[in-house]
Amino acid sequence: MVVVRSVQTCGANEFAAVLCSEMRQSGFVLTRNTTDALHGAAVRRGWFCIPITLLLAGLLASPASRATEGTVQNDTVWRDTAGNEMWCNGGQILQEGDTFCWVGYDTGPGRWPWRINLYSSRNLADWTFESTVIRMEGRFGNFGWAGRPGLLHCPATGRYVIVFEADSPRQWKRHRVGFAVCDRINGEYEFAGVQYPEGTRSTGDQSVYQEAEKGYLLATMDKDVGERKYLNQSLAIFELSRDFLRVERKLFEGFDNVNGDVRVVPRDHSSREASHIIKVSARYYWFSSGLVGWNSSATMYATATNLAGPWSSLELLRTDPPSRDSFNTQHDFIFPVAGAEATTWVYAGDRYSQWTKVGTGRNVFLPLAWENDGPLLRWHNNWRIDVTTGRFSAVATP
């Protein structure tokens, strides 16, 4: 599409305002960071001296294809649209209209104080840094660490909620559940509370799951037996309150091995972390990684037809070609790309190469297939997804 305007020249601020308006009308989604950048560029580069007709014709050509097409490249360091390295791990993606919003914590070496970042994309390949939505200041400054953020949009209040693991004032103590809220998905979130999910029991990794108007917390739970604390001992599901700002009740807890006897329950079948739930047709799939620190691990999953269970025993997520560590990743989350023709589920894996020094890149996206009535993770160095149709295709590696 080519936009033609009769105005030829104007002032920088007027030009930027006109440009933003035209881009929105032509199908672009402009965030606050994008509009600020356009205003700044208009002043710095003197765009207002260029005939608007010519500039808009170049910028707005084929916006639909530009927005919905892109190649996901694995085994490389991902950079945002400004050319900066992306730092977004242990999080979640929430789709708002035709925009995918990705929240995650900054795991860069020397990144202190801690922070939680938000990126956006319309094709899963080109990511724009929106903002640091939570940082270690104000009431958030009471936590030595805030990680594993999960992003929810609450139907009851219309507000956006980030649920995060809230550490004690001393970093790497055990976690409680923290809540933050904002009216805009990419705004500055306000502290909304913190609690233990059950009694005074602490947690390891956390994530969230939303189904219609209900929100849920998924947590790796610690257990206190006598005077001993068993860490990362079980997986549990809790239902959140109507406003998503507190834990109300436990629906399920299992996959535990309190005595830690690997002869009874192998450690890779207890002590799970980085868990996430999806629903495919009428069946829930609960994926999780092994308890391996920053290292990559095989991914396992259980199934159920009700969140409260019963849940099946854990099964290994098959990979093609065979991989013992999910293609050098640690399972983070899985999200749908629902198009007009199909729904593709995308596996998001963390690769903490900045800590392990193994492999290249820190993020991996792969399409998850269902074959022989079960999920299959297949490796693609490069692949493309059409978010309009929901279909993906492999791209030959140069």
The pLDDT tens digits of the residues spanning 76-104 come to: 999 999 999 999 999 999 999 999 999 99
Residue 317 is classified by DSSP as: P
- How many Å is the Cα radius of gyration of the chain? 22
Q: What is the DSSP string of 89-140?
A: EEEEEEEETTEEEEEEE---TT--S-EEEEEEESSSSS-EEEEEEEESSGGG
* Residues pairing with 350 in the sheet: 330, 363
Q: What is the per-residue pLDDT across 332-370, written as a single tens digit (0 to 9) for each? A: 999 999 999 999 999 999 999 999 999 999 999 999 999
Q: Which residue has the higher pLDDT, 13 or 231?
A: 231
- The domain limits of the chain are 12-61, 65-394
Interval 26-32 mean pLDDT: 45
CATH code of 65-394, in short, is 2.115.10.20
1 pLDDT higher than 90? no
> What confidence score (pLDDT) does residue 40 get?
53
Q: Check residues 371 and 12 and name the one with the higher pLDDT.
A: 371
Taking only the tens place, the pLDDT of each residue in 105-155 is 998 877 789 999 999 999 999 999 999 999 999 999 999 889 999 999 999
73, 322, 366 from 78: Cα distances, Å: 8, 25, 14
Query: pLDDT averaged over the chain?
Result: 85
For residue range 284-299, what is the model confidence (pLDDT) as tens digits? 999 999 989 899 999 9
Mean pLDDT of 142-170: 93
Average pLDDT over residues 31-42: 50
Q: Regarding predicted confidence, which is higher, 396 or 259?
A: 396
Tokens of 307: 């969140």
pLDDT at position 331 = 98
Measured CA to CA, the distance from residue 30 to residue 134 in angstroms comes to 21
**Order of strands, edge to edge, in the sheet holding 176-182?**
146-153, 160-166, 176-182, 190-195
Say which residue, 35 or 105, is predicted with more confidence. Answer: 105
Most confident of 53-62, 227-236, 310-319: 310-319
Please write down the long-range contacts of 322-326, taking CB distance under 8 Å and 24 or more positions apart.
323/298, 323/377, 323/379, 324/298, 325/295, 325/296, 325/297, 325/298, 326/289, 326/296, 326/297, 326/298, 326/299, 326/377
